[in-house]
Amino acid sequence: MSSRPQRPRRSHRERGSAGVDARRATLERVVAASPLRVPDSLPIADRADELVAAIRDHQVVIVAGETGSGKSTQLPKLCLLAGRGVDGMIGHTQPRRVAARTVAERVADEVGTTLGDAVGYTVRFNDRVGEGTLLRVMTDGILLNELQRDRELRRYDTLIIDEAHERSLNIDFILGYLKQLLPKRPDLKVIVTSATIDTERFAEHFGEAGAPAPVFIVEGRTYPVEIRYRPYGADNDDDPGDRRDQVRAVIDAVGELEQDGPGDVLVFLSGEREIHDVADALRREELRGTEVLPLYARLSSAEQHRIFQPHRGRRVVLSTNVAETSVTVPGVRYVIDAGTARISRYSRRLKVQRLPIEPVSQASADQRAGRCGRLGPGVCIRLYTADDYEARDEFTEPEILRTNLASVILQMTAIGLGDVARFPFVEPPDQRAIRDGYLLLDELGALREGRIGAVRKLTEVGRQLARLPVDPRLGRM
């Protein structure tokens, strides 16, 4: 029986050289087919040349702009124009899977290539990246997990950390890690994008010698948005007899907006259950020429794509906060904002991570309202009072200040980054939260004996837990 001859294994340097050659060939082919350009209709086009120069001249650049300004889809092309993406891939992180897929598909379409060729994406259980791929769009959790295999992220010559204003646990950890990594990787470029929220904090975090990183503000081309407050039930002071629930209030708001003219409606609700309740009620109303579509992170890819397909008549999209910043829903002229979202929060008393429905911050409410001012003058109906809005927090509290830190401590220990209390987070977590995280990992048998504050090592159980992309408690089961 003849055995198949095995290929000799290539060294890391040979694989790197082959990757550079493959990416250079891909770039030459893409540019030959269609020169890279930024559509003039997008606000970011006005600052394209400045951004290309800044990417060449600075190691870190902060780009702030409203959702829909073109940051997510055009910055990868600007990086290519600045000469990036050949020595290593351009890594582009998104906080949600639906956003990673959508951005990758949009960029691939604009540069005239198929997914997996010049542009690829990686989410859990799906990796469409080839050796010649220039841009890899992924969830921030994928990049975080990659640190265990590639401590210096040598696969990349540029990283775009998108939607940094969301301040998720993964984003805060990545920003802190990059702060430590950049002096060791002077060839690595980092671009942090954010809505126009708290950009000074990011600039100071990556500052050098007392000088903050450069910030570029991309002004949005938005139309005026009329805000209408339509509280319901016990909150409606104008009608003490109001007995409506949220479902009825949304239906009434949709009916009111029908009188304002044509245009799609985007409704923000707190979760899947609320979306299905409202969707069922709207369909029972049998509104003429109206299509009702849900949008949330767990929805299948085919269902999510329906919101981007052309249609006739009016479309009502019922969404969680995934449409607040991660996904731009086309054709929206009206917004209905229920004013709530499910926000992950750790209870130190009960020692459990909860997902309560809470009022969104003023910044989130403003983001939602801004979704209807991109095509023409818009109308946003808020299902709460103006006084309620004024009493809300200005910004959403970063996740690291309201979560159990066990998973962060586990990953940091696996990578060998030392004590979490000394890690350069954008905003350091509370000492009590750090202590609770260590105590939980001790209960799970993930850490070897040692005092808190000293460098701890993982047990065999801990190493297995660190490889699983789930909460340590679920992984231990």
Per-residue pLDDT averaged across 303-314, rounded? 88
For the record, the structure tokens of 260 come out as 């304002």
Q: How far apart are CA 202 and CA 205, in angstroms?
A: 5
List of residues 6+ apart from 261 with CB closer than 8 A: 333
Place of tokens 């990578």: 415
Q: Of residues 69 and 263, which shows the higher confidence score?
A: 263
Q: What is the pLDDT of residue 3?
A: 43
Choice among 281-285, 349-353, 472-476 with the minimum mean pLDDT = 349-353
Q: What is the pLDDT of residue 452?
A: 56
Q: Is the pLDDT of residue 440 over 50?
A: yes
For the record, the structure tokens of 242 come out as 């109001």
Q: What is the pLDDT of residue 325?
A: 74
- Distance spanning both ends of the chain, measured CA to CA: 46
Backbone angles phi, psi at 340, to 5 degrees: -130, 165
Q: Please say whether the beta carbons of 225 and 370 come within 8 A.
A: yes
Q: What is the pLDDT of residue 195?
A: 77
Q: What is the pLDDT of residue 197?
A: 67
Per-residue pLDDT averaged across 27-37, rounded? 90
Q: What is the pLDDT of residue 132?
A: 92
For 71-85, what is each residue's pLDDT tens digit?
Answer: 889 999 999 999 999
Q: What is the pLDDT of residue 451?
A: 64
Backbone angles phi, psi at 407, to 5 degrees: -65, -35
Q: What is the pLDDT of residue 98?
A: 85
List of residues 6+ apart from 191 with CB closer than 8 A: 55, 60, 61, 62, 63, 75, 79, 158, 159, 160, 161
Place of tokens 């940094």: 164
Per-residue pLDDT averaged across 456-460, rounded? 88
Q: Is the pLDDT of residue 306 over 80?
A: yes
Q: Is the pLDDT of residue 4 over 60?
A: no
For 334-392, what is each residue's pLDDT tens digit?
Answer: 999 999 999 988 887 777 788 899 999 998 999 899 888 888 899 999 999 999 999 99
Residue 111 banded pLDDT, cuts 50, 70, 90: very high
For 236-267, what is each residue's pLDDT tens digit?
Answer: 888 888 899 999 999 999 999 999 989 999 99
Residue 329 banded pLDDT, cuts 50, 70, 90: confident
Residue 459 banded pLDDT, cuts 50, 70, 90: very high
Q: Of residues 278 and 346, which shows the higher confidence score?
A: 278
Q: What is the pLDDT of residue 8?
A: 45
AA identity, residue 436? D
Percentage of residues in the chain having pLDDT higher than 90: 51
* Segment of 55-69, 228-242, 377-391 carrying the highest mean pLDDT: 377-391
Other Cβ atoms closer than 10 A to 403: 19
Percentage of residues in the chain having pLDDT higher than 70: 95
For 174-198, what is each residue's pLDDT tens digit?
Answer: 999 999 999 999 999 999 998 766 7
